[in-house]
Amino acid sequence: MRIGWGRALLAAVVVGVVSAGCAGLPVLPDLVGPPPQPTGDAATVLATLPVKGRAPRTGYEREQFGESWRDIDRNGCDQRNDVLARDLAQVAFREGTRSCVVLTGILEDPYSGHTIPFTRGRDTSDDVQIDHVVALSNAWQTGAQQLDPATRERFANDPLNLMATEGAVNQAKSDGDAATWLPPARGFRCAYVARQVAVKAKYTLWVTAAERDAIAGVLSGCDGEPLPPDSGVEPA
């Protein structure tokens, strides 16, 4: 009998405390505040990008972006070989190509964190692929339809928008934007989205609301993330 009375008393006390709290007595403060705001040049430029919905994909073809791997810097090497030479270590070139055609090398892939050996060949070249950081299809739907053909070709071959990565990772990304795909290696995500921001700013492309929010979310965890040093984009 005493045990039942004790339980009833405890229940009454709990109800009273809860009721008192609801009546206005001090309660614990809400420890969940607003998310941290992104800082740095990448965040500054992101804030200047127009925000719009995706345009239709109608009319998109790879050919709309001109010749693949065109030698836009006129150094005698196509852009694929230029990017391989830039991003791989221990590079060996084919003799007689003036250090142009990459035969072998080692990729320390920033997207995945994996080490990928590269050997040029029918069955091995695709082990390392060149990613368009801002995918061509995404660009088409966020303003590139309005660019002239020569500018679209520069976009598709601009070293700022090209990164060597593991073939399987590039295939997994497909034409995803930051709202649908980010590099598996979390430590590279800040630099990755900063490069996307630089590319979009350089070619006057817009971002969708979901894309902007995803990029801002990544940058909020990057203390003062800069733009890529080769971007040529200056924060306003």
Query: pLDDT digits over 17-71, tens only?
Result: 444 444 454 544 445 566 677 878 999 999 999 999 999 999 999 999 999 999 9
- The predicted pLDDT at position 39 comes to 79
Quote the pTM value.
0.84
Q: Are 94 and 101 in contact (CB under 8 A)?
A: yes
At 133 the pLDDT is 98
Mapping DSSP to helix (H, G, I), strand (E, B) and coil, where does residue 215 land? helix
**How many whole angstroms separate alpha carbon 101 and alpha carbon 117?**
16
Identify the pLDDT of residue 36.
Answer: 73
Give, in order, the Cα–Cα distances in Å from 141 to each of 63, 203, 226. Answer: 15, 13, 26
Q: Which two tokens stand for residue 107?
A: 């990729």
pLDDT recorded at residue 234? 87
